[in-house]
Amino acid sequence: MTTDFTATRALFDLPEGMVYLDGNSLGPLPRAVPDRVARTIRDEWGGMLISAWNKADWMAMPRRVGDRVARLIGAEPGSVVMGDTLSIKVYQAIAAGLDMNPARRVILSDNGNFPTDLYMAEGLCRTLGADYRLKVVAPEDVADAIDDTVAVLMLTEVDYRTGRRHDMAALTARAHAAGAIAVWDLAHSAGAFPVDLAGAGADFAVGCTYKYLNSGPGGPAFIYVAPRHADRAVPALSGWLGHAAPFAFDLSYRPGAGVERMRVGTPPILQLAALDAALDVWDGVAMADIRAASLTLADRFIQGVLAACPDLRLVTPRDPAIRGSQVSFAHPEGYAIMQALIARGVVGDFRAPDILRFGITPLYIGTAEIDRAVAVLATVMRERLWDRPEYRERAAVT
């Protein structure tokens, strides 16, 4: 097992002196990205112009880069395609799932799901009409709520607030036993720990790439369609690049082969280039090693904070089997505490109403950073530094 990630750390451009524990929100800049994007702009767009769609293979990028992501999430080759945003990909997945289960009307989710997943499901149900509805239960009640009314089980594997992790294989099996389709959101899973979509039997999965995969702000999302469904999943967002022959310019839609049908419009080539370069970081990294290091670092952080900051309440499960790669604490003054931390170079983030989140990312975070974060947090709490007015003013984006 490797827990020394000095080599991968050198692949990132991190501000001097900052302890960055927010890679679960926006991953830092991989050093390979600026040159790659610059070349895409100057040599491909500037130099080849329209011919770059063929010569620089832009048109194939969503699938080619999708295959690179597939390897990180236990997906079969050819089962993942990049594009759009996570919200759009959620819509595509649940729409296809509902379509495959036409006698049922319920999308089941939990209140720990990221809100956009719930919102997109709400919007889809409204468009579908006919009694379609989103049912939201507590995370711990999901298993029991899977019954024969459920068309689609839509869950985010790791809770964005608490870091609590669902058992993907068990819940997928339970969904299948009840005749439901399982859609997994891997926003806080992909790049955080080993995911085994194929082994779990997931039907659809979606995720973003700007967190643990470090693709940069607004990087393209992905969608996975299990190969057994890929040629029968009906795209609700039937865009031309998901057509069987986009450049025939037919007047009627015919879905493309396999996961290609989940493409919609023209792919964002600059963001795909950034993602492609960012994925180089994973060459030669075993996800099992990342996971082992993440757990070790997280335990060190939890123990340190609990010992030094009795007012902070741990909301992340201690059991490694049911947590992701973040550690969260609750405190009524969470927002101001986080601002005081950030002012001292320890960057996590805040999630309403009272959650302090810290992403554990061994690719570029080690024990020294964890120990410094504990020490600074201890100082902020002990000296009540969060009680200063400058830390209480809310920014637009938290």
For the annotated catalytic residues, the residue numbers are: 114, 185, 210-211, 357
Distances (CA, A) of 203 to 37, 152, 190, 213, 328: 34, 10, 16, 22, 30
82 and 75 in contact (C-beta within 8 Å)? no
Which token pair is 366? 């080690």
Task: Output 45 or 292, the one with its CB closest to a second copy.
Answer: 45
Q: Does 375 bind a second copy (CB under 8 A)?
A: no
From the number of C-beta atoms within 10 Å of its C-beta (0-12, 13-18, 19+), residue 189 rates as: buried
Which parts of 127-186 interact with a second copy (CB under 8 A)?
Answer: 127-130, 136
Task: Output 200 or 275, the one with its CB closest to a second copy.
Answer: 275
Please pick, from the candidates 264, 281, 356, 381, the single residue that binds a second copy as defined by CB under 8 A. Answer: 264
* 270: nearest Cα among 307, 215, 225, 196: 215
Query: How does strand 181-185 pair with strand 346-347?
Result: unpaired
Which parts of 266-285 interact with a second copy (CB under 8 A)?
Answer: 266-272, 274
**Which ranges constitute the DSSP H helices of 309-362?**
334-343
Q: How many CA atoms lie within 13 A of 354 on its CB side?
A: 10
Stretch that binds a second copy, among 173-181, 211-219, 321-329, 364-372 (CB under 8 A): 211-219
What is the secondary structure of 66-109 as a DSSP string? HHHHHHHTTPPTT-EEE-S-HHHHHHHHHHHHHHT-TT--EEEE
Please pick, from the candidates 8, 19, 28, 365, the single residue that binds a second copy as defined by CB under 8 A. Answer: 28
Task: Output 174 or 261, the one with its CB closest to a second copy.
Answer: 261
Least distance (Å) between residue 272 CB and a second copy: 7
Least distance (Å) between residue 267 CB and a second copy: 5
| Proportion of the chain in helix, strand, coil states, percent, rounded to 5 | 45, 15, 40
Q: Does 315 bind a second copy (CB under 8 A)?
A: no
224 and 271 in contact (C-beta within 8 Å)? no
- Coil, strand, or helix at residue 346? strand
Q: Does 333 bind a second copy (CB under 8 A)?
A: no
Give the contact letters, 41-80, x = binds to a second copy (CB under 8 A), - = no.
xx-xxxx-xxxxxx---xxx--------------------
Which parts of 241-260 interact with a second copy (CB under 8 A)?
Answer: 241, 243, 247-253
Please pick, from the candidates 82, 108, 118, 380, the single residue that binds a second copy as defined by CB under 8 A. Answer: 118
Stretch that binds a second copy, among 170-178, 302-310, 315-323, 348-356 (CB under 8 A): 348-356
Least distance (Å) between residue 349 CB and a second copy: 6
Task: Output 13 or 383, the one with its CB closest to a second copy.
Answer: 13
Q: Does 287 bind a second copy (CB under 8 A)?
A: no
35 and 394 in contact (C-beta within 8 Å)? no
Please pick, from the candidates 5, 8, 22, 391, the single residue that binds a second copy as defined by CB under 8 A. Answer: 22
Please pick, from the candidates 2, 3, 64, 122, the single residue that binds a second copy as defined by CB under 8 A. Answer: 122
254 and 245 in contact (C-beta within 8 Å)? yes
Task: Output 359 or 362, the one with its CB closest to a second copy.
Answer: 359
Q: Please report the sign of the dihedral spanned by the C-alpha atoms of residue 90, residue 95, residue 96, residue 101.
A: positive
Beta carbons within 10 angstroms of residue 52's beta carbon: 18
Least distance (Å) between residue 1 CB and a second copy: 29
Give the contact letters, 85-104, x = binds to a second copy (CB under 8 A), - = no.
xxxx--x---x---------
Largest CA distance in the chain: 68
Q: Does 321 bind a second copy (CB under 8 A)?
A: no
**Residue 106 bridge partners (DSSP):** 133, 150
Q: Does 391 bind a second copy (CB under 8 A)?
A: no
Task: Output 125 or 226, the one with its CB closest to a second copy.
Answer: 125
276 and 61 in contact (C-beta within 8 Å)? yes
Task: Output 14 or 306, the one with its CB closest to a second copy.
Answer: 14
